[in-house]
Amino acid sequence: MSQASSAKPSAIAPPREPWIIRTYAGFGDARQANARFLTNLRAGQRGLSIAFDLPTQNGYDPDAALAAGEVGRAGVSVCQLEDMEALLAGIDPGAVNISMTINATAPFIFALYLVLAERRGVAWDALRGTTQNDLFKEFVARGTSIFEPELSLRLSADLIAFAAERVPNWNPINCCGYHYMESGAGPAEEIGYTFANALMVLDALRPRLDRAAFERVVRRVSFFINSGLELVPEICKVRAYFKLWPELCRRQYGIEDVRFRAGCQVRSLTLTEQQPEVNIIRIAYEALPVVLSAGARVNALQLPGFREAIGLPDQAEQLLALRTQQVLMYETELTRYEDIFEGSRVIERLTAETAAEAEAIALRLRALGYARAIAAASAELTQRLADYQRKLDSGETIRVGVNAFAGEIGLAPPPRLQESGDQGLGALERERVEAVRLWRARHNQAAVAAAREKLARAVAEGGSVTEPTLGMARAGATVGEWTETVAQAGRGRYTPPIAEQAPGIPPLGTARVNRPVRVALGKAGLDGHMNAVKLLAHALRQAGMEVILTGFRQTPAQMVEAALQEDAELLAISTLAGAHLEIAEQVMAALGARGANGVKVVMGGIIPEPDRGKLLSIGVAAVFTPSDSNLARVVEKIVALLN
């Protein structure tokens, strides 16, 4: 029997662990993800952190056209109650703390979870866990928003108000600073944007709740933060988080003794495709700032796989991430001591400075209002991200194995490209498509239609969507049906701009084209991470090109159509979700069918190195993988291709 399967966590766990050990997991269908969850729990994991696939996050059923190629790739495919039951088979929702990274579709996924608890006879007040339910950071940094900002804020507030009353031990929102740091934010910006969002959400809830209910909501707000390699600033950032939030709650709402409660995943942006073994060291160092301070220690911690820059972590990588935390918790003995930084002149000074700057940022954005704050934060992050990239390209910032101390180490074998048992991801997707069609044919059509009508009325008339959403979950509706209902009753699906014009973008030192060139730049598939697209758009403009932004969540046909309508010479496609081969085949076929073989196509994103040759053989002119981290050189190659 393997060590992972024979471990008995209850025999070795201390009476009260200092934080919850998690890994962020979910892939394939519900049965496969459930097997991973059970394995991780046997290996000593204390809570679940569920990764949902991009169709689920974006409100599409597996058979939607935009879901093609992405079902079960970047997380687990869950679209109706039967999926939720299979996902948590053998797991007691009343005993395991469950965090769900779900945002725009959080009301429906949470409803599925509550109905599952009902069916198993678990009282809602026994449930402990988190729905992320944070749309501000989706608009600013991550991109899986569905509805316009005002409606998104309202749906988020509905879930929070309901949970505070009916599911009292649940964290109904997890205000997420993580993605701001991934998008270029420094410590004060990460805190400031995070707390601005929290304040705006609470401001929206305050008029609809009595004093006691509002205080319950304030105390249930939780956070999800990042932790980077800069040890002293990051230690001070965490301490500033813990210091500032109770002060803001007291000063802004008159509520005393509020605790800052947070989970953390360490910074993925520092992880490199080159010398992936070094990422093991980076991850361990990045875990330190959030657990070293006894007075500022996160409630839950999850660590990524060390080959995350190449692909989703396999079981061995997740087990190593667990063991890293277990060494930190059990062997370092850091939890035996009181706060080791209290009274340090350096730490206390920098903590106070960070907190003061963060408070100013939070109050400035709050004063702008939700929609305007989204635009302001997006523009500011673009500037900071460009400056970060400039320093990396110039060598001002050292990245071991990337711009210094290069050369392969050779200890870690390349990861397996997929993890789907005996079947490929294509077969899994076909199974999921067939399953959801059968489910819709089987469920009570009249009950679903009646539930949809109640939800549409609530959206249109300004009522709470939570009870009608529970009705849809009980009736057997799917996430796609829920999303379509809300969109039709609102103003449809919202498509935010993918690259704002931000003044003050630093020069990136790129080469320049020698003639007028028009480039179509778009984001394929459902992944919403826009950092690379923002940077590339600005870099191409600085290189003298006219950049046409085709949008994001684009199908191959939509991108080809946009490129041809704009007379573009080059179609540049960003893709992160693992469907790059299918996207390339469809793009090249569409160009060929339109007699537009002269349009050059380049692709970039999380593309495994072995797939570079496959893409080139399909007809893609250039491929940029995570190893192509120098943006100036990427642009130089594009310029050479055009010149």
For residue range 311-363, what is the model confidence (pLDDT) as tens digits? 778 889 989 999 999 999 999 999 899 999 999 999 999 999 999 999 999 99
Outline where 369-421 has alpha helix (H). 370-394
For residue range 563-572, what is the model confidence (pLDDT) as tens digits? 999 999 999 9
DSSP state of 342: T
Q: What average pLDDT score do residues 418-431 get?
A: 67
List the one residue out of 175, 108, 110, 103 whose CA is nearest residue 144. 103
Between residues 8 and 166, the one the model is more confident about: 166
pTM: 0.91
Q: What pLDDT score was predicted for residue 497?
A: 67
CA distances in angstroms from 120 to 31, 382, 615, listed in the order given: 18, 47, 48
Over 90: is that where the pLDDT of 195 sits? yes
Q: What pLDDT score was predicted for residue 301?
A: 95
Structure tokens at 355: 């907190």
Percent of the chain with pLDDT strictly greater than 90: 73
Task: Check: CB of residue 178 under 8 Å from CB of residue 265.
Answer: yes
Task: Check: CB of residue 26 under 8 Å from CB of residue 53.
Answer: yes
Q: Which domains does the chain have, with CATH numbers?
A: 3-394 (3.20.20.240), 518-642 (3.40.50.280)
Q: What average pLDDT score do residues 270-292 get?
A: 95
How far, in Å, CA of 126 to CA of 117, rounded? 9
How far, in Å, CA of 583 to CA of 586, rounded? 5
Task: Check: CB of residue 262 under 8 Å from CB of residue 223.
Answer: yes
Q: What is the mean pLDDT of the chain?
A: 91
Task: Check: CB of residue 59 under 8 Å from CB of residue 582.
Answer: no
Confidence of residue 10 (pLDDT cuts 50, 70, 90): very low
- In the sheet that holds 546-554, the strands lie side by side as 546-554, 518-524, 570-575, 600-605, 622-624
How far, in Å, CA of 23 to CA of 286, rounded? 15
Confidence of residue 579 (pLDDT cuts 50, 70, 90): confident
Q: What pLDDT score was predicted for residue 13?
A: 45
DSSP state of 26: -
Full 3-state SS string of 472-515: HHHHCCCHHHHHHHHHHHCCCCCCCCCCCCCCCCCCCCCCCCCC
H or E stretch covering 24: strand 24-25
Residue 101, strand partner residues? 51
Outline where 68-186 has alpha helix (H). 81-87, 106-119, 136-137, 149-166, 178-182
Q: What average pLDDT score do residues 15-23 get?
A: 80
Between residues 533 and 167, the one the model is more confident about: 167
Burial class (CB in 10 A: 0-12, 13-18, 19+), 509: middle
Q: Is 550 helix (H, G, I), strand (E, B) or coil?
A: strand
Between residues 8 and 393, the one the model is more confident about: 393
CA distances in angstroms from 610 to 70, 276, 417, 565, 581, listed in the order given: 19, 16, 9, 33, 12
Burial class (CB in 10 A: 0-12, 13-18, 19+), 211: exposed
Full 3-state SS string of 586-638: HHHHHHHHCCCCCCEEEEEECCCCHHHHHHHHHCCCEEECCCCCCHHHHHHHH
Phi, psi values for residue 60, rounded to 5°: -115, 140
Task: Check: CB of residue 582 under 8 Å from CB of residue 426.
Answer: no
Please provide the size of the chain in residues: 643
Q: What pLDDT score was predicted for residue 310?
A: 78
List the one residue out of 221, 222, 265, 227 whose CA is nearest residue 21. 265
How far, in Å, CA of 351 to CA of 237, rounded? 6
Taken in order 442, 443, 444, 448, the sign of the CA dihedral is: negative
For residue range 87-130, what is the model confidence (pLDDT) as tens digits? 999 999 999 999 999 999 999 999 999 999 999 999 999 999 99
Task: Check: CB of residue 114 under 8 Å from CB of residue 157.
Answer: no
CA distances in angstroms from 47 to 107, 275, 286, 301, listed in the order given: 21, 31, 20, 10
For residue range 72-91, what is the model confidence (pLDDT) as tens digits? 988 999 999 999 999 999 99
